Amino acid sequence: MSIQECNALVLEYLWCIDCVIRQNYGLVRAARLDRDDVYQNLAVRLIRAVELYKPGTRSLKGYIFMQLKYELLNCKSSKKRYGFCAAPYDLRGAVVSLDALMESTAHAM
């Protein structure tokens, strides 16, 4: 499949991202995820889904929805949110502001 064909399919199926976010908005809010970050992650997954799709097993639309829903569940992982590879799945409050870090090191000296 050429790049132009992939791009055309991605543009044609962009609406799926909004649909998945709308269907799972409660999860997005409960996990305190930023909607724009979720949209960006799902957009990357959409591009990969179009590239990796192999006709014959299921429809492209079904494959895209499956991939987007899987990616949405991964968006709330500590690895995705904070970049920690070995972090526990339910890690919370792992982000510390640079100001707080500077204050704690200044008091320690």
pTM of the predicted structure, to 2 decimals: 0.70
Band the pLDDT of 103: cuts 50, 70, 90.
confident
Output the domain CATH number for residue 77: 1.10.1740
pLDDT at position 53: 92
What share of the chain has pLDDT > 70, as a percent?
77
Domain count, the chain: 1
Q: Is the pLDDT of residue 2 over 60?
A: yes
> Per residue in 4-56, pLDDT tens?
999 999 999 999 999 999 999 998 888 888 899 999 999 999 999 999 998 88
> Per residue in 70-94, pLDDT tens?
999 887 765 555 555 555 656 566 6
Q: Which residues contact 65 (CB under 8 A, 6 or more apart)?
A: 16, 19, 20
Cα four-point dihedral sign 14, 17, 19, 20: positive
Query: In which domain, by residue range, is 41 found?
Result: 3-108
